Amino acid sequence: MSINIESKLPNVGTTIFTVMSSLAASHKAINLGQGFPDYTMNDELIALVNKTMKDGNNQYVHMCGLPLLRERIAEKVNRAYQSNVNVDTDITITPGGTYAIYTALTAILRPGDEVIVFDPSYDSYIPNIEINGAVPVAVSLRYPDYSIDWDVVREKINPSTKAIVINSPHNPTGSVLTQSDIDQLKSIVEGTGIFIISDEVYEHLIFDQKEHLSILRYPELFERSFVCFSFGKVYHCTGWKMGYCIAPAKLMTEFRKVHQFNCFTCNSPAQYALAEFLEEPAHYLQLGNFLQQKRDYFRSIMRDTKFEPLPSYGSYFQLYSYAAISDESESEFAIRLTKEAGVATIPVNAFYKTPVDNKVLRFCFAKKESTLEEAVNRLVKYFG
């Protein structure tokens, strides 16, 4: 008798990121697809990790995270969002923001529950929902500004609705929630048992004097929310896989029940280093301007192409329309660019539950200027 696994994710194959990155490597293409920097992270933070390892801080820390790091996070949250969170009960350090999102969903979902997600969305949401036996309910963002149609959200709400997943600044589009969005969300969940999973991993990577409207600012929303963050995205050390979740004590209790039997605890030297690094707010407050300069530079040199930029107010990403260039599908065009032009991107239809074809690609501009210049030069040369 053969041994077979009945897949919990039968519709999931190799991710588009793996496909495009492998294609980029095989064709020596510049990879503007995946969201990771190719420039070095802060030297001071590197030195702090080195120092704390030499100081002997290499063993397990508390399951919820290094107490000093949680204290620094609480201070930062109070300073940034005027929110007082309890260091002992409300904050858990996690191996990355994606892990925090998965753990939050696993803590609350039961088979048959429904979760509203906004398409296009970060690619982990739907598999996280499905592996817990729940049902993703997709609401498409309005093209081309990728705003939320809250009337459609209201139509989707029913007794099975367990949670709404929001993401601002948004991956892949770079859109951000407005005060009107927050007001609509408050209205929809008021008097219900609906949870909110708020993905805020790009909280400080926000542009054009926009304000990040964290769920932590709004007590009536926070009381039902798991708010997820990433050190890796903020400090350009994505390979560290370090993040954290903030939630009210009664929610965090259930989060930690899952966490303690999965990860249990996270990289100790990085936690000691981050605790010290967080003492200086400038380390994260300057990041928006730093990334906006990269976005603006990339946008300026892309004017030499026929790609048309869509609005991007945060994150590592800029969407570009190629409607003036080709009628090919997004996947076909992205593959051709990688193989023939030597520039790898991500087709935005890969972020949809039910794919659409708006002729849009996602470019990552969190790269060295020389990398961006070479990529654009290749596009210009290829398209003449």
Assign 3-class secondary structure to 264-310.
CCCCHHHHHHHHHHCCCCHHHHCHHHHHHHHHHHHHHHHHHCCCEEC
- Per-residue pLDDT band for 18 (boundaries 50, 70, 90) equals confident
Quote the mean pLDDT of the chain. Answer: 96
Residue 1 included in any domain: no
The answer to whether 212 and 203 are in contact (CB under 8 A) is yes
pLDDT at 197: 98
Burial classification of residue 59, based on how many CB atoms lie within 10 Å of its CB (0-12 exposed, 13-18 middle, 19 or more buried): exposed
Choosing from 238, 256, 281, the residue where a domain stops is 281
Look up the CATH number of the domain holding residue 290. 3.90.1150.10
Query: HSE-up of 207 (CA within 13 Å, CB side)?
Result: 18
Q: How far apart are the first and last CA of the chain?
A: 60
- What average pLDDT does this structure show over 309-313? 96
Question: Pseudo-torsion of CA 219, 221, 222, 228, nearest 10°?
Answer: -140
Enclosing domain of residue 25 = 16-41+285-383
Q: How does strand 91-94 pair with strand 243-246?
A: antiparallel
Residues pairing with 139 in the sheet: 118
Mind listing the pLDDT tens digit for each residue in 40-66?
A: 999 999 999 999 999 999 999 999 999
The answer to whether 383 and 325 are in contact (CB under 8 A) is yes
pLDDT at 19: 86
Choosing from 264, 281, 298, the residue where a domain stops is 281
Same-domain pairing of 27 and 99: no
Mind listing the pLDDT tens digit for each residue in 124-179?
A: 999 999 999 999 999 999 999 999 999 999 999 999 999 999 999 999 999 999 99
What is the pTM for the complete model shown? 0.96
Same-domain pairing of 98 and 146: yes
Can you tell me the distance from the alpha carbon of 12 to that of 178, in angstroms, rounded to the nearest whole number?
33
The answer to whether 102 and 118 are in contact (CB under 8 A) is no
Q: How many domains are there within the chain?
A: 2
Give the length of the chain: 384
